[in-house]
Amino acid sequence: MELKRVVITGLGALTPIGNTVEEYWNNLEKGVSGAGPITRFDCTKFKTRFACEVKGFDILKYMEKKDARKLDLFSQFAVACADDAVKDAGIEASDVNKDRIGVIWGTGIGGLSTFFREVMEFGRGDGTPRFNPFFIPMMISDIASGHISMRHGFRGPNYITTSACASSNNAIIDACTYIRLGKAEMMIAGGSEAAVNEPAVGGFNAMKALSERNDSPQTASRPFDNERDGFVIGEGAGALVLEELEHAKARGAKIYAEVAGSGMSADAYHLTAPHPEGLGVVLVLNEALHDAGISISDIDYINVHGTSTPLGDVAELKAITKVFGDHVFDLNISSTKSMTGHLLGGAGAVEALASVLAVYKNIIPPTINHFTDDPNIDPRLNLTFNKAQYRNVNYAVSNCFGFGGHNATVIFKKYTA
């Protein structure tokens, strides 16, 4: 069968460096760090005492207080961000069939703050079970997509993807597939995470995954730098409206970019560590290129997973070099996690936004906080250090990888009629 073309017609962003798409993009271009001391809990005794938190978020701009109290923060982020994307796409103002619009959202952890709070309150009691009646629907991961659909009346496919830090890339891929196959006309896809809390920070500290650069939070996320010591945990959300091309044209929608192709693979190697030679990443990149029907020479930019961990950064670059050969030196590569931190299950969504806007605006956001070259990284690679670069971007790759060896890659292209 002939697959439908899928375009991006709406965007929403709620990030540590901006609560709108415009703020987010402007700060990406400027190379602004979203890191600072943790304010969400008393972290005095923790090894890591900083994070990339969302600042100035007010859910009451989107819903009444009595309704907001029924949502975990990760769902609040999801609802707010999706509302903005829907508005940007002009869905409410157009004549659309809501039976043919779905929501696929991604999160790695879901309502961890709610779960932690309820369990702690139970533990402080006398054993009598006194739980919030909304405990379960606040905690469960799938509730975010449910809330989005209920707010807008979208009755198409609706569920959550959970594949650790690849979650929202998987959501975008699934949403695209439904449209390509003609099973939906529009899909809201993206992801959110709200894991700046005691169990998440403590758990990642126990794994020695987080940076402990407490004396300099804003320079702690430093992908590819020789002194990198772990990722910086972030929070927030990103949302994209995916739409079948002819449907978008018929309603006169603004088109940011087209989804060219995607790929998924597994490392089948280790619980948390990447394959040292990046074999799963090689597989996912080749699959995405094949799905898009393009060659390696077509790619201009790769928004890498680039978490700022000693093992992961090198393994990803090894895989990219294997796939792209000499063309790798003509690419721009950058890690926007150097600015946003790592949004875990929401990472793919906010990085997809960065990739789409790089295509739309012909600007490559930088990898900030580079101070010292890593001798294990080829100096000929253009890792877009410290300053945005300008070039024509026809195709951009967005990589996301998750604990468990999950790999998901999406390729965006400049839209042409």
Q: Which residues are catalytic?
A: 165, 305, 342
Residues 6+ apart with CB under 8 A from 8: 240, 241, 242, 243, 255, 256, 257, 258, 259, 356, 412
| Torsional class of 341: left (φ above 0), alpha (ψ -120 to 50), beta (otherwise) | left
For 359, the token pair is 């295509």
Those residues whose C-beta lies under 8 Å from the C-beta of residue 285, and which sit 6 or more positions away, are 263, 319, 320, 323, 397, 399, 409
Structural contact between residues 382 and 332, judged by C-beta atoms closer than 8 angstroms: yes
Pair 205, 46: CB distance under 8 Å? yes
The structure tokens listed for 300 are 């201009």
User: 237 with 190: CB under 8 angstroms?
Assistant: yes
Instruction: Of 202, 192, 190, 200, give the one whose Cα is nearest residue 235.
Output: 192
Burial class (CB in 10 A: 0-12, 13-18, 19+), 131: exposed
Helix (H, G, I), strand (E, B) or coil at 160: strand
Contact 100, 60 (CB under 8 A): no
CA distance 12 to 162: 20
Q: Which residues pair with 105 in a beta bridge?
A: 160, 190
Euclidean distance between CA atoms 386 and 14, whole angstroms: 23
The residues with which 93 forms a beta bridge, in sequence order, are none
Of the candidates 112, 140, 306, the one whose C-alpha atom is nearest the C-alpha of residue 204 is 112
User: Cα–Cα distance between 275 and 316 in angstroms, integer?
Assistant: 9
